[in-house]
């Protein structure tokens, strides 16, 4: 998920890392991005999750980037804030997900979307422990995690001995099969209550998505309804509750 062309900047924000290079790219997505359809369907599911919550709940978007969701939902009246290591603005507080500045049991809901895989394996457990610490009892967590063992990756391994990574290793050093993420989640006393797959990477549909992402939205509607068995999918949304 690396190729994003459009560049948008908020002059009041402070950026480092990829945001100093790409700008506020989640706010102005390029429709020729290879995984544009995956982003759309992920955001649709996240919107559904948030819209079903009472607006009074305290929500943290952990590793929120430029705060796309935080800004939108604050304007809708939600009690939501964002934290990111590489961004600072009126909507985003700067901080590390492995050692957040919040007190124990502060939040009712924590979002951690496409973040854990950016950490090395040794740090992923630290991030999950921190999520548990700042989450209230019976609080909810929504994680978005890529799956190294998606369908096309399995076919590639069978035929060539090589897996298809979800991004370059420098960007996703913690890339792993979804079952390993699930094991780490359970080890940290977060109970998985639901799991949803997005984009089963069948060879033909994956090729069409790679070359014509803006033209295959209708195809994703079909495969994400009929064939999105989570273990086959590129992305998993994992809904958890604190034990």
Predicted model pTM = 0.92
Give residues with Cβ within 8 angstroms of 237, minimum separation 6: 42, 45, 46, 142, 143, 144, 195, 196, 197, 198
Q: pLDDT tens, position by position, for the chain (243 residues)? A: 333 333 344 556 898 888 777 778 787 888 998 989 999 999 999 999 999 999 999 999 999 999 999 999 999 999 999 999 999 999 999 999 999 999 999 999 999 999 999 999 999 999 999 999 999 999 999 999 999 999 999 999 999 999 999 999 999 999 999 999 999 999 999 999 999 999 999 999 999 999 999 999 999 999 999 999 999 999 999 999 998
The CATH label, of 3.30.428.10, 1.10.3720.10, 3.90.226.10, 3.40.50.150, for the domain at 31-242 is 3.40.50.150
Provide the pLDDT for residue 10.
Answer: 54
Exposure of 3 in the CB half-sphere (CA atoms within 13 A): 9
Provide the pLDDT for residue 111.
Answer: 98
Q: Taking a C-beta distance cutoff of 8 angstroms, is the pair 193, 240 a contact?
A: yes
Q: Taking a C-beta distance cutoff of 8 angstroms, is the pair 175, 169 a contact?
A: yes
Provide the pLDDT for residue 18.
Answer: 82
**Segments making up each domain of the chain, as ranges:** 31-242
């Amino acid at each position: 998920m690396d190729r994003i062309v459009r560049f948008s900047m908020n002059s009041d924000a402070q950026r480092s890392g990829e945001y100093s290079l790409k700008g506020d790219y989640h706010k102005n997505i390029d429709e020729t991005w290879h995984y544009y359809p995956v982003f759309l369907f992920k955001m649709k599911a996240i919107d559904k999750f948030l819209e079903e919550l009472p607006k009074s709940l305290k929500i943290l978007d952990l590793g929120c980037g430029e705060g796309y969701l935080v800004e939108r939902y604050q304007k809708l009246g939600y009690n939501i804030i964002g934290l990111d290591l590489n961004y600072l603005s009126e909507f985003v507080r700067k901080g590390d997900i492995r050692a957040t500045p919040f007190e124990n049991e502060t939040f009712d809901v924590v979002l951690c979307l496409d973040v854990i895989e950016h950490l090395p394996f040794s740090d992923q457990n630290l991030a999950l422990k921190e999520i548990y610490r700042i989450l209230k009892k019976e609080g909810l967590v929504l994680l978005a995690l890529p799956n190294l063992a998606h369908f096309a990756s399995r076919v590639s391994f069978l035929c060539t001995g090589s897996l298809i990574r979800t991004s370059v290793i420098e960007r996703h050093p913690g890339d792993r099969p979804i079952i390993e993420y699930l094991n780490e989640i359970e080890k940290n006393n977060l109970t998985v209550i639901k799991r949803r797959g997005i984009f089963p990477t069948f060879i033909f549909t994956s090729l069409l998505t790679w070359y014509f992402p803006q033209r295959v939205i209708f195809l994703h509607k079909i495969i994400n309804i009929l064939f999105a068995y989570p273990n086959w999918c590129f992305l998993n949304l994992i809904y958890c509750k604190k034990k």
